[in-house]
Structure 1
Amino acid sequence: MTGLLAGVRVVELGGLGPAAWTCTFLSDMGAEVLRIDRPDRTDLDFTENWMRGRARLEVDLKEPASRDRVKELVRRADILIDPFRPGVTERLGLGPEDVMADNNRLIYGRLTGWGQGGPYAKTAGHDGNFIATAGILATLGPADRPPIAPLYYAGDWASGTMPLLVGLLAALYERERSGRGQVVDAAMVDGAAMMLMQVLALRDRGVWTDARQANQLDGAPWFNHTYRTLGDRYMAVVAIEPKFRRLVRETLGLTEQIALDEPDRWAVDRERVAEVFASRTQDEWEKVFAGVDACVSPVRELSDLESEPHLLARGVYQRIDGKLHPAPTPRFSRTPSSIHPPLDSADLVGRWLATRRDHR
């Protein structure tokens, strides 16, 4: 393995979504990831892009001998990822106290929806539940309809994967000074709360209302909205600053017809802008705004990704063995990340067990 985290060993207890995506980031950056899964698992395609770059070992953690085998591997690891509800790994004898007693350099990453404590801690939930409780979901969607769930982007990804990943990397950095590992406790409800920081600040200043689609940043003004074009495609206008709004008005030929920013006129002005955008195709509007620094972009469909000029130039997507992969991010100048092929579990386990790491 090559990359920034070459030499870092990760044991991933098999979960779904945000914990698994965290391990994909670690793998792309060069870490060796060994995923532990139950033998009868049939709900996942382990060749999919979000499971890339790791080895997979089938283990029944309910069997004492199997747990002991995993403990031996954890003794030689740098990171353990626990994606289960509170108390599950403790019952299996794989909780922090169990495994860190034999490896005091271990970084124990826990990812849950509700956190390790609180009245909902052991309650079932999915990403929509966590962002609903934290206040995120109430801010999303049009004014005249119920809140709209943003797929898994806000909950699993932004509120789960990103905080856990940052926490693990920070703990690895701190370990270089202290020589000791620690538990990283990431909860999606906590991560969702972090995403509300700017909205809460605006609300405290009295410039944000609790109504949806009634604020400058939630699609209410004409200059921060998405418009249908001829041919049923869309253009995104995100001209937040006045200088960009002026360019948009000028390019659309609406300088005298719409206000620069008058909230009482937002709805009327959106209708006027919508009428203009509906008069041409997306391709035509893309040509009109080419070279105009006005924060106006075509809304790409998933079928456009491999032909979109900017994405193509940067290699943002890569097709490997017939499957479309997002390229690793971020990009490093000296130790580039890469999409690694699947690791051979027998080889990886053999190498780990042959390496003595006495961390006690």
Structure 2
Amino acid sequence: MTGPLAGIRIVELAGIGPAPFACMMLADHGAEVIRIERPGAKKGGPGGDPTKDILQRSRKTIAVDLKSAAGIGVVHNLVASADGFVEGFRPGVTERLGLGPETLLKVTPRLVYGRMTGWGQEGPYAQAAGHDINYIALAGALHAFGRAGDKPTPPINMVGDFGGGAMMLAFGMVSALLHARTTGQGQVIDCAMTDGTALLMSMIWSFQGQGLWRDERGVNLLDSGAHFYDTYVCADGTYVSIGAIEPQFYAVLREKSGLSAEPAFDRQMDPRGWPELKEKLSAVFATRTRDEWCAILEHTDACFAPVLSMAEAPAHPHNVARGTFVELGGVVQPMPAPRYSVTPTVAPRMANEQSDTEALLDGLGYAPDEIAALKAAGAVA
């Protein structure tokens, strides 16, 4: 076993999006994660193929009928040997199944019970359906994404589902697991994507509190308002990114782009001049291809990087040198992160078409005839 979470067992109720991503992270870092699927349920997320679904990697799976008393008994037995439990249903669903926190904490008092929702376990929106775009809208984040004069632009589902949701849940699980190891006391984690997204905006709230941020899109330091923090189109139609905030880095950008002698660029932090300076910088970047700008600006302190597509990123020399991506079963995917000096993360493996039901039941002490009876009754598959 490798990874800092080796020896930790997590039981996961199958779902989509943020809860599976959190459990993928726990598995990447050494935890044994057992994913409970419903018999006959479509596996593999939207694509329907678990062997291609990165969010299902590095798990064991067991197919259990959660509407069966015998099936719920199997889950209770799994939980009896577990350190954590993760579910991503609307509030009250697991309670109705007999798998709510009050029940499972009686089975295992040290259990860390992670609950992943968009709106949280209580509040006026708690029972409403929603998706990432809705959660980040209510949290005050979506309003900030986009260019001046344009409507808010969803940053795919990175901020609510995975930043404010999955990453917060993974952090909460590890924090509570540490507490449980010290005290023997389990607890429930109410992880709401609205809460997590709001927390991700902490620095922006700080800027606003100091009068350094206007509550408008595309007019601020980090939202494409500044000429020195934006993307620019090159002569070949590709893009580069610039983030030269600090004066010494801004000076390098000016030098390398031939703008050192332009007095207008001396007023770096004056927002009144940003639109004009952006037009000038746009004209400069349009004179060369992306590769030509890479030859000039890469490996300097201009705070520069080419804007790479998903097809391009795995082949970039920096990502190749670090092994940032790997191909498994024909699926290119990111490697686990972050990295450790003593307890390296687990080499990922893709999910199988078949479940591990019999092996897991055997490990729980079920006799062959008991396993056969559960299968015959449809409690497991």
TM-score bracket for this pair, using the shorter chain length: over 0.9
Contact 2:50/2:56, CA 8 A, preserved across alignment: yes
The answer as to 2:208 corresponding to 1:203 is: yes
Contact 1:52/1:339, CA 8 A, preserved across alignment: no
Which residue of structure 1 lines up, in the alignment, with residue 54 of structure 2?
49
Contact 2:298/2:304, CA 8 A, preserved across alignment: no
Instruction: Write the distance in 2 (CA, Å) between the matches of 1:204 and 1:313.
Output: 41
Q: Among 323, 327, 350, which residue is 2:362 paired with?
A: 350
Which residue of structure 2 lines up, in the alignment, with residue 25 of structure 1?
25
Q: Among 166, 170, 194, which residue is 2:171 paired with?
A: 166
Contiguous gaps of at least 5 residues in structure 2: 367-381
Matches within 5 A, 1:143-182: 143-182=148-187
Shift of 1:321: 1.9
SS of alignment partner, residue 311 of structure 2 = helix
Which residue of structure 1 lines up, in the alignment, with residue 121 of structure 2?
116
Instruction: Write the distance in 2 (CA, Å) between the matches of 1:102 and 1:319.
Output: 40
Point out the more displaced range, 70-79 or 35-44: 35-44
Shift of 1:256: 3.0
Shift of 1:193: 0.7
Which residue of structure 2 lines up, in the alignment, with residue 70 of structure 1?
75
Shift of 1:240: 1.0
Matches within 5 A, 1:217-256: 217-256=222-261
Which residue of structure 2 lines up, in the alignment, with residue 35 of structure 1?
35
Contact 1:34/1:345, CA 8 A, preserved across alignment: no
Shift of 1:290: 3.0
Q: Among 331, 346, 355, which residue is 1:338 paired with?
A: 346
TM-superposition CA deviations, 1:283-309 (whole Å, max 9, x none): 000001133211011111111123100
Shift of 1:3: 2.0
Point out the more displaced range, 156-165 or 40-49: 40-49
SS of alignment partner, residue 325 of structure 1 = strand
Which residue of structure 1 lines up, in the alignment, with residue 63 of structure 2?
58
* AA of the residue aligned to 1:116: Q
The answer as to 2:288 corresponding to 1:284 is: no
Matches within 5 A, 1:115-134: 115-134=120-139
Q: Which portions of structure 1, spanning 4 or more consecutive aligned residues, are displaced by more than 6 angstroms?
A: none
* Alignment RMSD: 1.4
Instruction: Give the 3 Å change call, closer, same or farther, for CA 283–252 of structure 1 in structure 2.
Output: same
Shift of 1:147: 0.2
* AA of the residue aligned to 2:2: T
Instruction: Write the distance in 1 (CA, Å) between the matches of 2:116 and 2:4.
Output: 23
Task: Count how many residue pairs are aligned between Structure 1 and Structure 2.
Answer: 354
Q: What is the TM-score with the length of structure 2 in the denominator?
A: 0.90
Which residue of structure 1 lines up, in the alignment, with residue 192 of structure 2?
187
Q: What is the TM-score with the length of structure 1 in the denominator?
A: 0.95
SS of alignment partner, residue 315 of structure 2 = coil
Instruction: Write the distance in 1 (CA, Å) between the matches of 2:304 and 2:341.
Output: 31
Contiguous gaps of at least 5 residues in structure 1: 355-360
Contact 1:49/1:324, CA 8 A, preserved across alignment: no
Which residue of structure 2 lines up, in the alignment, with residue 325 of structure 1?
333
Shift of 1:225: 0.8
